[in-house]
Structure 1
Amino acid sequence: MAFKYINPGYAELLSVRGGTTVTGEQYSKTGISFWQTQMNRGLLLSEIPTELYGRFDVFLKNPTIVEDALVWVCIGYYNGIKISPDRTVWDIEIRKDGRNIYSLSDTAGVIRTDAVNTLWFHIKQGKHADGIMHVMVNGYEIYHAQNEELWYAGDSEAKTVTLCSKSSDALLSNLILSNEEISPREQVIMLPVKETHTNMTDCGDGSYEATAANQELLQSVDTASLITQYGADSRVTGISLLGNPAYCTAEGLCALMALEKSGGNITEYGRHIAEQNPNSTVMDTRTVSMTIAELSGRQFGWRAGT
C-alpha cells in the first residue's frame, strides 16, 4: 500500500507526544520546525515498507557551541542517518543495523552551520546483496550502495521511522516520506489562502467552530502568488490538509472529512476522528499529479460529522 507523509515542521504531527514545535523563518523554509528527544519514535507506519524514500531539512547551529546535539532519521533498528557535532564540524554517519558503515567527518564543504540543510535518502531492503542505501546532502551524493545486505523487516521497530533530535541545536522540518520515489527536488510549500468559504462559526482568530453536522470549511489557493514564485508548470506531487489544532468540544461532532471541490463537484477523501485534547491535530495526505497552475479553481477543506 502506497503512503506519503508530509510535515512542514510540526511536532504535533508525529506519532509520539512531547516534541517541541519552533517558529521562525531562520530555522526553516516553512517557518516551523521541531525537535523531539525520544529514540525509536517519530512516525509509526501501518505496514513495513520494502523501501523508504525521504527528504528533510535540518537547521544546524554552530557545532562549537552546541550541547547534547544528536539527530537520527532511520527505519527499524537504526538503518539510516545519524548527525552529531564533532568539535568544529558536524559528522554524518550512515548506519545499518546500528553499525556505522560510512562516516563523513570533513563536512565543511557540505554542511552549512547556522543554516538550513537538505538531506535526501533511499533505503531498500535486500537479503541477497541487493539492498540499497543512497544519501544526498545539499545536493552532494555522499553514499550510494546497491549491493547491501540490509533487512529490517524482523526488527521490533520495523514500522517505525525514527525522527529524533536531542535538542533545539538541530531542528527538523520540511519532511516528506514515502514508499514510492521522491525526487531530491521535492519540498513542502505552505499554500497561501486566497478565499475562505464556510458555514462554520468564524472565531475571529483564524479558527472556525462547527456546531452542526455537515458544516463545511473550504479554502481556495492564491495560485497567482505561487506561479510568481515557483512557475506555472512546477509539479505538485502531494497535498496535505492540516487542522492545527483540531479537536471536539462536546459529545456528538467528532469527525472531520477531508474535501476537495472543483468545478462544482466535491470529492471526499480521508475521514478522521478528532480528539478532545485542545492541542490535537488532524492531517489528511494524498499523492497527486498536477501543476501549480492546475490548483486554480480548486478548494480544499473539511466537513464536520459524527
Structure 2
Amino acid sequence: MRYMNPGYVSWLERNTALAVQEETGNPYAKASFYVTKEKTCVYRLNLEKELYIKASLWLYSTSSTYTSCYIGAGTGYFSGVVFNKRDSDKWKAGYANSAWNIGCNVVREAEVKDNALNEILLHFDGEKIEAFVNGTCVLDRSWTNKDIDLVIFSDEGKGHWSNLIISDEPIDIREHVIELPVTLADVTMAEQEDGGYSSNKAGQILQYVLDAETLIKKYGEDSLVTGIGFQAEKAYRNGDLLTRLEEYLQAEDGTEQNIGSMSLPTTDGQVILGLSAEDITLADMADKKLGYRSS
C-alpha cells in the first residue's frame, strides 16, 4: 500500500482542508494545504500492519502571537509532532501532549527551519510510535492503538502541508512527490465537447508521453522513483459494462508494464486516484508512455 499526495486537497480521503497553490509552501509541486483545528482529520488509518507517514511542512517566520501546527495519530498524549511559536520567538518542535503543546521530555532538540520545508516522518510498528523532524527523533514511545485518524492542522499563513506519503514499507525522509509533465500521444476514446473523453468499449486508451527529461535535468537521472500516482478528474461510469481504468507504462519497443488499476465510481464529478509502488530511476522512465485503458 502506498498513498502519495503532492499537496492537493482533492486527494485527501476526508476533504476538510483548504488549498494553497503557490511555490512558497511547496517548491516541488506548487500545491499545499492547511487545516483549521475545527476540521483536522484527513485520513482514516488501520495499524494492523507496520505503517510509515511522511509529510512536509513549510513554516512562516512572519507568524505572530501564539500558534501551532500538528501532525499525528489522533490528539491524545504522545500521539504525534507539534510545532509551536509565540510572538517573535523561533519555531520549536516536539511531541504533543493533550493540549497539543510541546512535551517536556523531547528526546533531542530538533532543528526547525523558518520559511523552508521541514520534513516529518512517523513510524508505527504495532508496539511503539517514532517521530522524526528533519532527521532528529523527537518521540519514541509505546503505542498499541490500531484504528486512528491521521490528524493534521495549521492555520493559513502559519504552516502549509505537502508531500503526504503513507506506506506499509519504509519511507526515506528525503522523498518528495513531484509532478511529471505529460503530453497526449494517442487516444482511441471519444473526445467530448467539454474536453473530456468517454469509452464505450473495453480496451480503448488514453496514452501520454512522459517528459522525464525535464525532471532529469533538475534532479539527475539516478534519482529513484519510489511510486507513481494518477489523478482522473470527473472519472465515473454510467453502467456496468466498463467499470475500471487500467494503468500501464509502455516502453519504446511497445512492451507494456501494468502498474495498477482503479475502480470507476457511479457519481458524476467524483475524483479518483490510482497509485502504484515502483522502484526505478528517472532514467528508466525516459522515452516511456503512460496509458489508461478501459476495462
Query: What TM-score does the superposition give when structure 2 sets the normalisation length?
Result: 0.81
**What SS does the corresponding residue of 1:65 show, helix, strand or coil?**
coil
Name 1:248's counterpart in structure 2.
236
- Opposite residue 143 of structure 2, the aligned amino acid is L
1:141 paired residue among 127, 136, 157:
136
1:267 paired residue among 258, 261, 283:
258
1:110 and 2:119 aligned? no
1:198 and 2:187 aligned? yes
* Residues 4/266 of structure 1: CA separation in 2 closer, same or farther (3 Å cut): closer
Matched-pair identity in %: 21
1:80 and 2:48 aligned? no
- Opposite residue 73 of structure 1, the aligned amino acid is I
* Residues 177/195 of structure 1: CA separation in 2 closer, same or farther (3 Å cut): same
In the TM superposition, 1:23-172 aligns within 5 A as: 23-28=21-26, 29-37=28-36, 38-39=38-39, 41-45=41-45, 47-65=46-64, 69-78=67-76, 79-88=79-88, 89-95=90-96, 101-102=103-104, 110-126=111-127, 131-137=128-134, 140-143=135-138, 145=140, 148-153=141-146, 158-172=147-161
* Residues 27/247 of structure 1: CA separation in 2 closer, same or farther (3 Å cut): same
Distance apart, 1:252 and its partner CA: 6.2
Distance apart, 1:27 and its partner CA: 2.0
- Once residues 170 and 210 of structure 2 are traced to their aligned partners in structure 1, the CA distance between those partners, rounded to angstroms, is 26
- Opposite residue 232 of structure 1, the aligned amino acid is E
Which 4+ stretches in 1 moved above 6 angstroms? 96-99
Distance apart, 1:239 and its partner CA: 1.0
Distance apart, 1:81 and its partner CA: 1.3
1:218 paired residue among 203, 207, 218:
207
Q: Is the 8 A contact 1:42 1:162 kept in 2?
A: yes
* Residues 287/261 of structure 1: CA separation in 2 closer, same or farther (3 Å cut): closer
1:284 and 2:274 aligned? yes
- Once residues 233 and 96 of structure 1 are traced to their aligned partners in structure 2, the CA distance between those partners, rounded to angstroms, is 42
- Opposite residue 261 of structure 1, the aligned amino acid is L
Name 2:228's counterpart in structure 1.
239
Unaligned runs of 5+ in 1: none
**What SS does the corresponding residue of 1:294 show, helix, strand or coil?**
helix
Name 1:258's counterpart in structure 2.
246
Name 2:176's counterpart in structure 1.
187
Q: Is the 8 A contact 1:254 1:274 kept in 2?
A: no
Distance apart, 1:151 and its partner CA: 1.8
* Residues 9/177 of structure 1: CA separation in 2 closer, same or farther (3 Å cut): same
Name 2:3's counterpart in structure 1.
5
Q: Is the 8 A contact 1:241 1:301 kept in 2?
A: no
Name 2:216's counterpart in structure 1.
227
Distance apart, 1:65 and its partner CA: 3.4
- Size of the aligned set, in residue pairs, is 284
1:294 and 2:280 aligned? no
- Once residues 248 and 300 of structure 1 are traced to their aligned partners in structure 2, the CA distance between those partners, rounded to angstroms, is 20
Distance apart, 1:152 and its partner CA: 1.5
More strand by share: 1
Distance apart, 1:302 and its partner CA: 2.3
* Residues 204/224 of structure 1: CA separation in 2 closer, same or farther (3 Å cut): farther
- Once residues 65 and 244 of structure 2 are traced to their aligned partners in structure 1, the CA distance between those partners, rounded to angstroms, is 42
- Once residues 72 and 242 of structure 2 are traced to their aligned partners in structure 1, the CA distance between those partners, rounded to angstroms, is 34
* Residues 171/53 of structure 1: CA separation in 2 closer, same or farther (3 Å cut): same
Distance apart, 1:182 and its partner CA: 0.7
1:14 and 2:12 aligned? yes
RMSD: 3.2
Distance apart, 1:103 and its partner CA: 6.5
- Opposite residue 131 of structure 2, the aligned amino acid is H
Q: Is the 8 A contact 1:219 1:299 kept in 2?
A: yes
- Once residues 54 and 233 of structure 1 are traced to their aligned partners in structure 2, the CA distance between those partners, rounded to angstroms, is 24
Distance apart, 1:249 and its partner CA: 7.8
- Opposite residue 196 of structure 2, the aligned amino acid is Y
Unaligned runs of 5+ in 2: none
**What SS does the corresponding residue of 1:17 show, helix, strand or coil?**
coil
- Once residues 268 and 114 of structure 1 are traced to their aligned partners in structure 2, the CA distance between those partners, rounded to angstroms, is 37
**What SS does the corresponding residue of 1:12 show, helix, strand or coil?**
helix
* Residues 65/75 of structure 1: CA separation in 2 closer, same or farther (3 Å cut): same
